[in-house]
Amino acid sequence: MVRAIDGTIHTRAMSGLIDSVGDGITGLVSGAFAAIGGALRGIVNAGNQALPGGLFILLAFVLVVVVGWSLAKR
């Protein structure tokens, strides 16, 4: 048993359980961010291949401006 700073007593098994749950949640969140990043990279690569010569970047910029303008008007 381990005594915490606040005076409560924790067992090593419970500490291991909490660490395992925290590691699992961390893995899920980092996996989700990796999947989102991969999907965005795929979308950008496909857009660059479909609209060469910087047209995709121009289209993305125009979409950001239009969406920003419509949100600002609200």
Q: Where are the domains of the chain?
A: 2-73
Lowest mean pLDDT among 6-10, 46-50, 56-60, 67-71: 6-10
Q: Is 2 left (phi over 0), alpha (psi -120 to 50) or beta?
A: beta
Structure confidence at residue 64 as a pLDDT band (50, 70, 90): very high
The string of pLDDT tens digits covering residues 16-27 is 788 888 899 999
The string of pLDDT tens digits covering residues 29-50 is 999 999 999 999 999 899 889 9
In 3D space, the residue among 64, 65, 66, 47 whose CA is nearest the CA of residue 56 turns out to be 47
2 three-class SS:
strand
Q: Hey, what's the torsion of the CAs at 63, 66, 72, 74, to 10 degrees?
A: -110
pLDDT the model gives residue 61 = 93
